[in-house]
Amino acid sequence: MTFAIAGLLMICSCTAQQKPSKTNHMEEKKNNPVFSRTSSDKVEISEEEWKKLLSPEQFYIARQKGTERPWTSHFETSTEVGTYYCVACGYTLFKSNTKFDSGCGWPSFFEPVSKKSIIYTADNTLGMRRTEVQCGRCKAHLGHVFNDGPPPTGLRYCINGVSLGFEKKGE
């Protein structure tokens, strides 16, 4: 794992803007007082405060509704067994057994852990009618949900890997 991260860092170092998402799960917890893997209390802090807690890339995507470039998240192809959570606040969002290979370039899931994991909002920007999905605890922007997913839900939660952290089963 460590070697893979080092390799990614070297590959990506030529494009300063694109920090590899793989560093997420090491950056997220330090000095972040709202991060909790157990609390479901809503998090409402200012964007200024978020800016201090998140990396520039995480802030851009999770708080400013940015979109990572497709095929840049190592989560996209990951088949590790465990739980995906909000990188900003630690709230549990998806289980690895609901992840599927959509081929769209972003980590994709067909079902969130629970109904309250996700906030759904109509997004009519960019001339498209889409449904934005946000973290149910801190409203971090995660991505969008589309109705072209596999059974049993028929849904495809198309999620920015930058907005996710991952906890391996058993850890």
Q: How far apart are CA 158 and CA 20, in angstroms?
A: 18
By C-beta, is 5 or 167 nearer to Zn ion? 167
Q: Give the residue, chosen from 140, 145, 158, 164, that forms a contact with Zn ion under the rule CB under 5 A.
A: 140
At position 155, the amino acid (one-letter code) is: L
Rg (CA), the chain: 15
CB contact set of 137 (below 8 Å; sequence gap of 6+): 39, 40, 41, 42, 43, 86, 89, 91
Residues forming beta bridges with residue 119, ordered by sequence position: 134
Instruction: Establish if 62 lies at the interface with Zn ion (CB under 5 A).
Output: no
Nearest approach, Cβ of 127 to Zn ion (angstroms)? 28
Quick one: DSSP state of residue 25?
A: H
Q: Give the residue, chosen from 35, 50, 91, 94, that forms a contact with Zn ion under the rule CB under 5 A.
A: 91
Instruction: Establish if 86 lies at the interface with Zn ion (CB under 5 A).
Output: yes
Q: Give the residue, chosen from 53, 54, 88, 159, that forms a contact with Zn ion under the rule CB under 5 A.
A: 88
Q: How far apart are CA 113 and CA 166, in angstroms?
A: 14
Whether 158 is a known active-site residue: answer: yes
Q: Give the residue, chosen from 53, 61, 135, 164, that forms a contact with Zn ion under the rule CB under 5 A.
A: 135
Instruction: Establish if 155 lies at the interface with Zn ion (CB under 5 A).
Output: no
Interacting residues toward Zn ion by CB under 5 A: 86, 88-89, 91, 135, 137-138, 140
Catalytic residues: 158
